[in-house]
Amino acid sequence: MLSTRMVIMSARPGRVACDLPNDLPMPRDAQVQLSPRYNELKSQIWNTVQTEVMRSLESQAA
């Protein structure tokens, strides 16, 4: 979470699945992981990754 922007790519074809600005306050030390906003961003990132993994697995099975 050190970047100012987080871009999550899709599996196939490679495209931007999600582009999130990192609006967490600076400096981003270990304490930031306790903030509600950190958990929102983390959840959004993991949900996007999970969706893309499932799409990839479904397309491979077809």
Question: With the C-alpha atoms ordered 42, 2, 19, 23, is the resulting torsion angle positive or negative?
Answer: positive
pLDDT greater than 90 at residue 28: no
Domain ranges of the chain: 5-61
Q: Which residue has the higher pLDDT, 12 or 25?
A: 25
Residue 1's pLDDT is what? 65
Instruction: Report CA-CA distances (Å) from 31 to 1, 9, 35.
Output: 12, 28, 8
Residue 58's pLDDT is what? 86
Q: 20-24 long-range CB contacts below 8 Å, 24 or more apart?
A: 20/44, 20/45
Residues 20 and 56: their CA atoms lie apart, in Å, by: 22
Residues 33 and 31: their CA atoms lie apart, in Å, by: 5
